[in-house]
Structure 1
């Protein structure tokens, strides 16, 4: 993200997945197997790596659009929710099932879900390890737009073009003001 952030020709970025999933999260069976061998952690991507990815998204000053072309689960959901505008395919599922294998989400998911949908709904989602439809995620205010699968990138690109035509300094300043509290909260949470 740093390379794009410092390139003045890049005005907006779109974060998307390859294939049929945005990011379906880690291999839960592998995480569960690792936890049985080492209950103190060691369950896949390191917490430090996850934090680095999250910090890079938090510190990206330009508008960032999440084009969620499939399931967004666990860290994948966290990453998508850290973008400024989230476009989701109708078929996408959203959730953070860490608790289902005995893990506390340590990637910023607890904080971002709480900020976006409030503590009561976030507690229910996280404590039950629920997975929800894109339509329900939209109703909760978790995401911005739900579109047909083949319209995810088209919609993201249309919004990106609108943002590219806008006053760049004002867009960055607006993003900074809107996300300052979230950034402070997540930076504190991830320490």
Structure 2
């Protein structure tokens, strides 16, 4: 079967990493299919929520260590060992053309993106979850930034996302030590949004994503833009942007439906 599964049903897009025998470690095929799935999600208006999961015993173990030992696949490209044996620039460009496409595409998606973590999320596997808006983890899950153990740097955006979530000092500690954290410990750090008993994980996630899928979609997308863009704006710019969004959303049918539902004391039925 394919190294990555992608489906869309009832407005919910599901990306499933599908190399269970390798704990869903990256492959060239997985990365390329991942890029294609994200482009489809970005460009399809009918998609309301995105869910990222992994098949088998783990969410994602990041880079495929066995292929690294063989001199293959460190940068998840089609040239394999040849690229690893060439120049630093070639290796840099390989990252840019493949795995680094994922965080860049994620920035272009205004819809809610939920990562569902079970088993382990290591290195780039954890970073892929950090790129998502919400992270829901099984109680038995464990996470780690393990790059230091292989003598490499976080080439996929981990050095960007991690300090914005846990702070600079804790991010450096995690990256310098490669320590492993339980789901509860990760939640205390702010890495995880919800920790759920293993046997309740699937039901919790389904209820959660249906709640998001039932919300006023354009309003939710404006909110996501305001939050992320606001991290890089001064106050005046942020207020100017959100006032423009307010002018737009109050012309939409979802606004009228929301107001009627409040007055009539019922649940709104958004488009």
> Partner of 1:86 in structure 2?
135
State the secondary structure of the residue aligned to 1:15. Answer: strand
1:153 & 1:126 partners in 2: Cα distance? Answer: 30
> Partner of 1:153 in structure 2?
202
Listed as ranges, the gaps of 5+ residues in structure 1 are: 185-191
Q: Is the 8 A contact 2:42 2:108 kept in 1?
A: no
1:17 aligns to 2:65 (yes or no): no
**How many residue pairs were aligned?**
181
TM-score by length of 1: 0.84
Q: Is the 8 A contact 1:68 1:152 kept in 2?
A: no
Listed as ranges, the gaps of 5+ residues in structure 2 are: 1-37, 75-83, 234-271
Equivalent of 1:116, from 158, 161, 165? 165
Aligned CA distance change for structure 1 residues 39 and 129 (closer, same or farther; 3 Å): farther
State the secondary structure of the residue aligned to 1:125. Answer: helix
State the secondary structure of the residue aligned to 2:110. Answer: coil
Aligned CA distance change for structure 1 residues 182 and 66 (closer, same or farther; 3 Å): farther
Q: Is the 8 A contact 2:121 2:142 kept in 1?
A: yes
1:144 & 1:106 partners in 2: Cα distance? Answer: 24
1:129 aligns to 2:178 (yes or no): yes
> Partner of 2:95 in structure 1?
47
User: Higher relative contact order at CA 8 Å, sep ≥6: structure 1 or structure 2?
Assistant: 1
Equivalent of 1:75, from 124, 133, 157? 124
Q: Report the CA distance between 1:62 and its aligned residue.
A: 0.5
2:118 & 2:164 partners in 1: Cα distance? Answer: 23
Q: Report the CA distance between 1:38 and its aligned residue.
A: 5.2
2:137 & 2:154 partners in 1: Cα distance? Answer: 22
